[in-house]
Amino acid sequence: MTLTAYKWTTDRYHQAINAGLFADQSLELLRGELILMAPEREPHAYCNSESGDYLRAILGTRAKVREGHPITLPNHSEPIPDLAIVKPLGVIYRHRHPHPEDIFWLVEISNTTLNQDLTVKKAIYAEAGILEYWVVNLPNKELTIFHNLKNTIYTTTKTSSTGTISPLAFPDLQISVQRLTNP
């Protein structure tokens, strides 16, 4: 006997949410699979909030910084990145989550989910065409940046614990690595 897992589409996932099926669950949809999200502990919550505030102050009205809200991707995925830096499309987000073409870059704050963020999520974001992806490694106080997509794979990886970084979408900005990794 072969067991086959049920694969969720984004539409069916939304229908289940609307029906209240997952009202008491914290879930992400990754490649059609429902993934239970780990509870958020204090260091993660603090870094997420401080990093979000810092990026908002730097970006001003050029972009919207969304903390812990879903994005909709074409590969039957609706992850909930810690920070999504997206186009400021206003009321459009009342009717849909950001799509890849709306996203400047994504940030995951990793304390206990580092392996998943560096493998599964990185691959899903690259497949969806997200141009830049950052992972904050809280235990090591490092920032890893992935960009330069080629054939749905990030070809450039840079890890740093000091200095500044300029996101691809805003090369004129200088973002402090330490403000993200050790706020």
| pLDDT score of 68 more than 90 | yes
CA distances from 172 to 44, 87, 164 (A): 28, 17, 12
Q: How far apart are CA 158 and CA 156, in angstroms?
A: 7
Average pLDDT over every residue of 6-15: 91
**Close Cβ partners of 2 (under 8 Å, ≥ 6 residues apart):** none
Q: Is the pTM of this model over 0.85?
A: yes
Choosing among 3.90.1150.10, 1.20.1250.20, 3.90.1570.10, 3.40.50.720, the CATH entry for 40-181 is 3.90.1570.10
**Domain coordinates in residue numbering, the chain:** 40-181
Complete DSSP assignment for 16-55: HHHTTTTTT--EEEETTEEEEPPPPPHHHHHHHHHHHHHH
Mean pLDDT of the chain: 94
Average pLDDT over every residue of 94-114: 95
Average pLDDT over every residue of 81-109: 97
